[in-house]
Amino acid sequence: MKFFVDTAEVDQIAELNDLGMVDGVTTNPSLIMKSGRDILEVTKEIADMVDGPVSAEVVATQADAMIAEGRKLAKIADNIAVKVPLTWAGLKACNVLTNEGNMVNVTLCFSANQALLAAKAGATFISPFIGRLDDINLEGMDLISDIRQIYDNYGYETQILAASIRTVNHAYQSAMIGADVMTAPPKVIKQMAEHVLTDKGLEAFLADWEKTGQQIL
């Protein structure tokens, strides 16, 4: 499973990238706003830092304007994935940008039908939003499972990019179902290393080691 980091904070990306935990990065207008940076500047810095795809999102709502914005974003670096919303206009933009040789991430997916349309339009990635479905008392993981089955049924190459991941259970369940990629905030990725029994075991080992009076260095 590929790990994408869902942030525009360069320092946080760099820390995880140094550990080999970054296969790509996803950004959106909200994350750019939080970073306080110029979108073109920060996207270029991130794209230069990581080897994998860096999603940069258009803000237009009409297809022609999305295509124009997408072309500009794609010029930032060779590893840019243009991010478009799952609307009819977004699907049109996806098809054009894909046919021009660009990676495209179709975002804000909330149904299997939408995911099927995105695959037909040639999306590189489809981003189903798990947490936001959970927020309205729907099971976000069911959507990941449904998309996985549909794509496998017909051999679609669009990669399932599990998004809106809020917990370590979201990450685990996405991996179990077979999502190709997950994108999560740095905090969630770090929390995946935590377990109460690990903490207790380490505490016991260190207590016993102290009693030996030995040192390794």
HEC string of 124-172 equals CEEEEEHHHHHHCCCCHHHHHHHHHHHHHHHCCCCEEEEECCCCHHHHH
SS3 202: helix
Res 175: pLDDT: 98
Confirm if 146 and 112 have CB atoms less than 8 A apart: yes
Write the CA distances from 191 to 24, 29, 68, 167, 194, integer angstroms.
19, 25, 39, 8, 5
Cα–Cα dist 164/185, whole Å: 9
Write the CA distances from 15 to 53, 152, 214, integer angstroms.
17, 35, 33
Res 210: pLDDT: 95
DSSP string, 89-117: HHHHHHHHHHHTT-EEEEEEE-SHHHHHH
pLDDT tens digits in sequence order for the chain, 217 residues long:
999 999 999 999 999 999 999 999 999 999 999 999 999 999 999 999 999 999 999 999 999 999 999 999 999 999 999 999 999 999 999 999 999 999 999 999 999 999 999 999 999 999 999 999 999 999 999 999 999 999 999 999 999 999 999 999 999 999 999 999 999 999 999 999 999 999 999 999 999 999 999 999 9
Confirm if 110 and 132 have CB atoms less than 8 A apart: yes
Q: What are phi and psi of 127, to 5 degrees?
A: -110, 90
Res 150: pLDDT: 98
Cα–Cα dist 37/47, whole Å: 15
Res 86: pLDDT: 98
Instruction: Select which of 2, 83, 120, 200 is catalytic.
Output: 83
Rg (CA), the chain: 20
Cα–Cα dist 79/116, whole Å: 25
Q: Closest by alpha carbon to 128, among 105, 155, 161?
A: 161
Res 68: pLDDT: 98
Res 123: pLDDT: 98
Q: Is 83 a catalytic residue?
A: yes
Q: Closest by alpha carbon to 160, among 149, 176, 144?
A: 144
